[in-house]
Chains A and B, each alone.
Chain A
Amino acid sequence: MEARMSLDVARIKADFPILRRQVRDGRLVYLDSANTSQKPQAVIDAMAHYYENSNANVHRGTYLIAEEATAGLEGARAKVARFIGAASEREVIFTKNATEALNLVVKAWGRSHLKAGDPVVITELEHHANIVPWHQLVEEIGIELRWIPVGPDGHLDLTDLDRLLDGARVLSFAAMSNVLGTILPIDRLVAAARAVGAIAIIDASQYVPHVATDVQAWGADFVAFTGHKMCGPTGIGVLWGTEAILDDTPPFLTGGEMILNVTKEGFTVNELPWKFEAGTPPIAEAVGLGAAVDYLESVGMESIREHEVTLTGYALRTLTERLGDRLTIHGPAEPAERGGVLSFVVDDIHPHDLTQVFDQYGVCVRAGHHCAKPLMRSMGLGATARASLYLYNDEADVDALAAALESAADFFAF
């Protein structure tokens, strides 16, 4: 059956120079976009153009290129704000990555608002970035960390949600699992948090690159994501927050740029969003992220999501048909309920051995615990191999994975 592709993937592949690279006598088959995405020529060019023409520090120079640099940074902020449906650019804070964005929330808002015994609710499928900072508040303040369990189908088990949220101050969860691909019931979770007066924090690192996002429609307090998973460069992430909660949050990192005034006696913080951006920001990276947003919008987020649902369905069918009972794919079986993240194991073959063989075929797939050890443990898994799809992947990439998988399974067969 010919799957209907709404994207011209051959044309999209041509936008990504690295996908023309030959490795080990074959083409590069990149299936690790949940880890980091590849970058289109437009992003690479935008960053090079900035360095070649406008490189200067921002918000202080009175000369032309400094104005251009500032316009590049703030222009990127405006693009990101529009891309995620923010009410204003004041709500968009540039960080180093999603991990720093979540640390900002936990350490600046959490430390100043939470006290001993306050319940904070997270889920079992969180990335370590949404676990470890909370563990630190358990140690420092004595907050109580509660966990929403994950069922064998890869969906949250919400049976005890009311009890877990009883008295909660915070509900913090991933919009999409980086291991299982599960899309969480975002509206229901935010509404449940609201109902008990808890703030809602969403780690949207795996969601924003793949699905059209409207942070105001979600109605959460904070949303964190990163640039490098959405065709942008490394070194830049985003924290979105409502103006109300950002005004009520003390600064995180402090120093230059985040102040209005400094005297021998103290300091006055800058306005939003610069209050949270101490030091020289990642200017070229912001320019690159802005170009990535332009690129994704030019393709269309609805088309990207539709393509990934179709391709995920193709991958689930193809791998299951070719590997049969030897293969177990974790996470929701229904493509519409998940992203293009496929975690799997074959027989008792360790994922490290699988992906080592894949590498001989130029197939890039991650093996390990994917920075989600509590989830792996609750599922009884030591590690999985994880193939993840993006707009530049097609059926030929999935077929290459299936062929590499068959080869590896035969090689390690007992």
Chain B
Amino acid sequence: MPGLEDLYREIILDHYRNPRNRGELESPPAHRSEGFNPLCGDEIVVYLAADGTTIDDIRIAGQGCSISQSSASMMSAAVKGKTVAEARDLVKAFKAMMSIHEHELDGEDGAPEPAADTPELKLGDLEALRGVVKFPVRIKCATLSWNTLANVLNEIESASSRPQ
């Protein structure tokens, strides 16, 4: 599609057509969080099974556009098997690629963070989503699943920091 090559990269369309880790996990024991994009009605549900600090399994449910669906699919592949801390770094790195820093996000930590703090991580396939930045309306599509994942990670961390 002329003019849209940067947005609809082949790998994005592949994840859209063949979404990875699609489905649900029984919750509990799995953690579950919903995310909404009020602009377009997209809904994402992230299910995450973590044994201790490692993400053993992740499933994505809900519906949305090719950008939100492929971003969720790539995200699920990227964080599966990672530790919660590593996943958190990926969230940060991905949002930085989307030109968003934590303090700009709804309901996020709040404290402004210097860009220099952003971890230099290999984003791999996720780099394909870099072109979304040129289409500002679609940034929310790309970050929907990541914000939802961040909520799940917060939940896991607050649960594990609770005295047993």
Contacts and interface: CB of A to CB of B under 8 A. Distances in A.
The judgment on whether A and B are partners is yes
A389 B127 CA distance: 40
Interface stretch (B49-57, B59-67, B72-80, B105-113): B59-67
B40 A356 contact: no
Interface string A337-367: 0000000000000111100110010000001
Nearest to B13: A412
A376 B2 CA distance: 32
A353 B40 contact: no
A350 B66 contact: yes
A368 interface: yes
A317 interface: no
B19 to A, nearest CB: 12
A107 interface: no
Interface residues of B, number: 22
Interface in A356-414: 356-357, 360, 367-369, 373, 376, 382-383, 407, 411-412, 414
A24 to B, nearest CB: 7
Interface in B113-137: 135
B1 A414 contact: no
Contacts of A411: 1, 8
A53 to B, nearest CB: 39
Contacts of B138: 352, 356
A353 B41 contact: no
A376 B1 contact: no
Contact of A382 (B1, B2, B43, B67): B43
Contacts of A412: 13, 66
A382 B41 contact: yes
Contact of A376 (B39, B41, B69, B135): B41
- Name the prevailing secondary structure of the B interface residues: loop
Interface residues of A, number: 19
A360 B2 contact: yes
Contacts of A407: 1
A411 B42 CA distance: 21
Nearest to A383: B41
Contacts of B135: 356
Nearest to A368: B40
Contacts of A352: 40, 42, 64-67, 138, 141
B28 interface: no
A274 B13 CA distance: 57
Contacts of A373: 41
Interface in A52-80: none
Interface string A3-35: 000000000000000000000100000000000
Interface in A90-148: none
B3 interface: yes
Contacts of B46: none
A137 to B, nearest CB: 22
A318 B4 CA distance: 26
B17 interface: yes
B13 to A, nearest CB: 8
Interface in B66-96: 66-67, 69
A352 B138 CA distance: 9
A368 B67 CA distance: 15
Contact of B64 (A24, A350, A357): A350
Contacts of A383: 40-42
B96 to A, nearest CB: 24
Contacts of A369: 40-41
Interface of A: 24, 350-353, 356-357, 360, 367-369, 373, 376, 382-383, 407, 411-412, 414
9 contacts: A350-B66, A352-B40, A352-B42, A352-B64, A353-B65, A357-B4, A369-B41, A382-B42, A412-B66
**A-B residue pairs, 10 tightest by C-beta:** A350-B65, A352-B65, A369-B41, A383-B41, A368-B40, A360-B3, A353-B66, A382-B63, A382-B41, A353-B65
Given A352-B138, A382-B41, 5 more contacts: A352-B67, A356-B7, A356-B135, A368-B40, A383-B41
